Amino acid sequence: MIVIFILIPLSIILATGFLLGFIWAVRSGQYEDTCTPAMRVLANEADIKSPTGENGATKSEPTEVDK
Amino acid sequence: MTNLATSALEVDSIREARTAAPQCFHCGDLCRGPTFTDHEKSFCCQGCLAVFQLLTENGLTDFYSLSENAGVRVKAQAGREQFAYLDDPVVQRRLVDFADARTTRVTFRLPSIHCIACVWLLENLFHLQPGIGQSRVNFPRQEVSIAYDPARTKLSEVVALLGSLGYEPELKLSDLDNVAPTRQARRLWVQLGIAGFAFGNIMLLSISSYLGLDHFSGGLFNRISGWISLLLALPVLFYSAADYWRSAWVSLKQRMLTIEVPIAAGLLALFLQSTYDVLTGAGVGYFDSLTGLLFFLLCGRLFQQKTFDRLAFDRDYKSLFPLSIIRKEGGRQEHVALSQLGVGDTLVLRHGELIPADATLMSGQAVIDYSFVTGESAPVEKAAGEYLYAGGRQTGGVIEIKTVKPVSQSYLASLWNQDAFRKETGRSLNNLTDLYSRRFTKIVIAVAVGSALFWAGRDVSRSLKSFTSVLIVACPCALALAAPFALGTAERILARRNIFLKDTSVIETLARVTDIVFDKTGTLTVAGANEVVFHGQPLTEAEQHWLYSMTHHSTHPHAVRITKAIGRGHIPQPVRSYLETAGCGIEGSVAGYKITIGSPAWLQSRKIVIPPMAAGDGSVVVAAINGQYRGAFWLANALRPETAGLLTELSSRYELALLSGDHDRERPQFAPFIGSLHFNQSPLDKLGFIRDRQKSQRVIMMVGDGLNDAGALKQSDVGVAVVENINAFSPASDVVMDAAVLPRLPEILLFAKTSVRIVRWSFVISSFYNLIGISIAASGRLSPLVCAILMPLSSITVVAFACGLTNWMGRKVQP
């Protein structure tokens, strides 16, 4: 039974990790809009082809200027 | 061709034009007049064609496959120079969320976002203009947040691009203080997360004591788990419960016994008792109950906090302040930011625009509406040279003014008498929960003190224990959950039927309603199927265009219907010297023609000869061009088929009244159903009528169209705005309701009553648990185990009962 004294702190540390993950998710705004992501996923498959004939994939990532 | 089916116009010439007209590939409107074609597709206007070409060039044609005719009609091609003021650093600082050398991030509200294709297009904006980075749409809030590189593009260019796609942003002063609600919601989520985390872990640690295995695990384990529980409970107590401490303190200071007072007392007793147990090694305490309680309470709070972001219940009147204004300089008109205005500038104000600073009138017919400042609803006419105070709104045609004082936005904001249009937002202290908790708290304190006194003579430690135990067990968690869950569920059910409530307390008021007051125009008689018939020589295309340009300025229901009937496919032409006389009509000139539209009596008073017409049901709106009678629109006011049934049903249970601004020709139609009929009522008469009734302790529900009777809606106990388009701005109302569900009003009222009854029953259930708990506690024998079972059990039963029964009862009002 002595092992429980190691397991309890370990499990709490692990759970704290999940809690921090949750707080991060809330802080980054993931709980603010639960509607749009569901719509986004339906449209994202669409491949955008530029008329110049190049592969759209190179162009279809927005430049990451966020943060 | 749904457009054909719903179109209400009966003019033959128009109908012919319509059957022949193809549908615009971009926006789905019928093409009238010149049609533009490209790639074998037809477009109704240059704007739609331009968007299509822009999307095709950039490989974004998927837009059209995501949803049919997804486009938004481009109202007026906005030039970039119109938004030039946005590049002013002062304006930018107010609009932009975040800026550094490489990135600027800005959030706009785009009211025209309406479908999945909009989301897709707006999130692919970076294809259309170099320099734009990631853009994210928040669909429920109808917002888009765009990042761009300030070195490669400008804010004005971004806004102009949005405008050219048909998504012109709302650029208003109120954009400044949008941040607060999201921060509050995030805080609640984190509070809930921490409480849930602590609750789960403490329960795990307590399993051995739940199962009575204390002997096996030994004293060391108990002591350690007690200490860990204490540590886990601390953030819950200080962070998650913070709002309860605060509100309990506030209500104590105001000598009010709200529900938070017994909750805070219970939490405090729980914590002190448990800490004492752990410190003295007497046991593991009640931390599982403490954290569990808070977890459930916060769940209830989150459940109740459902808001309808796109509705504007509480939208501030500040949102009417524009960011820019037209300045005239050397014969040239330019849009400038409010902050750049100086003294002595000449400004051009159009219909509906605000006077941004004290000024003198230079030219034009000024009819200034100061109702937001003074509450006085009659507009004031001003002659050239007169002094105009800031905050008034021009309601006629175009005027020119010269500023005499600098613009001060904070002064403007403070000037507006917001009370005039806003119901007191603070929570009412007479809601069900607080009424009940007041009695409840007194009883609990009496029992706690009583049992403490009872034991005091015999056993001091037991006396203390029984005192805290009673407070712990009586913590009215289940009581506090009943209303949020029952009424929150009801609110959701109603929202699914396109009935949106400002908050859950509206349901409680709905259940108490004794009188229902209807506004006729726009509620009982206007329906999508109503016909607008034009009598006279059929209008030519150009004439329709002029009339449309006039009527689309007015918000009167008659004008809205005429606009709808002749409007599709037209782009409004500029109107000069527009003037609306409330309740009479509108006049102005379009393309050099003087147009007068209004009631026959009003036109006659302006010396326009109107040929005699056969009397009939409904309202007549007469149009004249250049002082010559042109024809009459007949707005058939036949009651909706369901109205008679609706009124009969309601009249058996409620006092009904009808207030109408119209003539009393329709009195016989309503007389069988409604006892109290009042015609020719001004907005002030309506307000006075409601105030009189309220004096005799009646609870009044006012059903109106939202804008033309805002005063009466505000005065009534429940103001219901019945609207054709639920995104419409309806100030002062508590309920926004789709016109199509109005016939279900009796069921909805009944449902409100049922929901309140469910809350009452939940109170009974929670009191039953409390009775058991208190009888154990008063004997001083409350163990953590009993507490750990009793408290979650009572909460869960109440939540299940409240949600389940409300849902079950709500099936009747489901679509």
Residue B730 pLDDT: 54
**What is residue B17's predicted lDDT score, i.e. its pLDDT?**
40
Say whether pLDDT at B522 is over 80. Answer: no
- What is the tens place of the pLDDT at every residue in B174-192? 444 444 556 777 888 999 9
Q: Measured between alpha carbons, how far is residue B192 from residues A48, B13, B187, B800 in Å?
A: 41, 63, 9, 19
**Per-range mean pLDDT, top range of B183-197, B537-551, B726-740:** B183-197
**With 50 as the cut, is the pLDDT of residue B11 above it?**
no
Q: How is domain B532-635 classified at the CATH fold level?
A: Calcium-transporting ATPase, cytoplasmic domain N (3.40.1110)
In this complex, which of A8, A16, A26 lies closest to B186 when CB atoms are compared? A26
- pLDDT tens, residue by residue, B764-805: 888 888 888 888 887 777 777 788 788 888 888 988 998 899
Q: What whole-number percentage of chain B has pLDDT above 90?
A: 5
Q: Cα distance from B139 to chain A (closest Cα, Å)?
A: 5
Q: What is the pLDDT of residue B321?
A: 59
Dihedral angle sign, alpha carbons of residues B765, B767, B769, B771: negative
pLDDT of B197 above 70: yes
Mean pLDDT in residue range B483-498: 84
CB B534 within 8 A of CB B551: no
pLDDT value for B9: 38
Residue B4: predicted pLDDT: 36
Say whether the ipTM exceeds 0.90. no
The predicted pLDDT at position B427 comes to: 45
Each domain of chain B, given as residue ranges in start order, spans 2-56, 80-178, 182-307+428-485+754-813, 499-519+641-752, 532-635
Please report, for chain A, how many H helices and E strands are present, in that order: 2, 0
Beta carbons of A8 and B228 less than 8 Å apart: yes
3-state helix, strand, coil in chain A (%, to 5): 50, 0, 50
- Of B47, B271, B247, the closest CA to residue B164 belongs to B47
Cβ(B267)–Cβ(B293) below 8 Å: yes
**B193, pLDDT greater than 90:** yes
- State residue B192's pLDDT score: 93
If interface means Cβ-Cβ distance under 8 Å, which residues of chain A face chain B?
1, 4-5, 8, 11-12, 15-16, 18-19, 22-23, 26-27, 29, 31-33, 35-36, 39-40, 42-43, 46, 48-51, 56, 59-60, 62-67
Are the Cβ atoms of B228 and A49 closer than 8 angstroms? no
Contact B139 A51 (CB under 8 A): no
Grade residue A33 by pLDDT with cuts at 50, 70 and 90: confident
Task: Give the span between the Cα atoms of B489 and B486, in whole angstroms.
Answer: 5
Q: pLDDT tens across B275-301, in order?
A: 988 888 877 788 988 898 899 889 888
pLDDT above 80: residue B448: yes
B126: closest chain A residue by CA = A62
Q: Give the DSSP H/E element, type plus range, for residue B233.
A: helix B214-235
Cβ pair B59:A51 closer than 8 A: yes
- Comparing B282-291, B352-361, B721-730, B746-755, which segment has the lowest mean pLDDT? B721-730
**What pLDDT score does B234 carry?**
94
Q: Which residue has the higher pLDDT, B91 or B164?
A: B164
Determine the pLDDT at residue A49: 47
CB B790 within 8 A of CB B772: yes
pLDDT on residue A53: 36
What the block records as the tokens of B711 is 């005063």
pLDDT at residue B703 in the model: 86
Q: Please give the residue of chain A at the shortest CA–CA distance from B128.
A: A50
Q: Are B356 and B407 in contact (CB under 8 A)?
A: yes
Lowest-pLDDT range, B37-41, B373-377, B713-717?
B373-377
Q: How many helices (H) and strands (E) does chain B have?
A: 27, 28
Q: Whole-number mean pLDDT of chain B? A: 76
Q: Determine the pLDDT at residue B307.
A: 55
Q: In what order do the strands lie in the sheet with B399-403?
A: B332-337, B324-329, B346-349, B399-403, B359-363, B387-388
Tens of pLDDT, residue by residue over B159-174, are: 888 887 778 777 665 4
CATH architecture for the domain at B80-178: 2-Layer Sandwich (3.30)
Residue B497's pLDDT is what?
80
What pLDDT was estimated at residue B531? Answer: 65
A48 phi and psi angles, rounded to 5 deg: -95, 120
Cα–Cα distance list, B518 to B678, B691, B722, B735 (Å)? 10, 15, 10, 14
pLDDT, average across residues B613-617: 56
The CATH architecture one would assign to domain B499-519+641-752 is 3-Layer(aba) Sandwich (3.40)
Residues B58, A63: C-beta atoms closer than 8 Å: no
Contact A64 B133 (CB under 8 A): yes
Average pLDDT over residues B420-443: 65
Q: What is the DSSP letter of B536?
A: S
Closest Cα to residue B733, out of B419, B423, B418? Answer: B423
User: What pLDDT, on the 0 to 100 scale, is given for residue B176?
Assistant: 47
CA B391 to chain centre: 24
Q: How far is A1 from chain B (nearest CA, A)?
A: 8
Residue from A39, A41, A55, A61 whose CB has the most chain B CBs within 10 Å, to mutate? A39
Most confident of B158-172, B222-236, B474-488, B611-625: B222-236
Using DSSP's 3-state secondary structure scheme, residue B469 falls into helix
Note the pLDDT of residue B60: 76
pLDDT above 80 (res B133):
yes
CB nearest A33 (choices: B102, B124, B140): B140
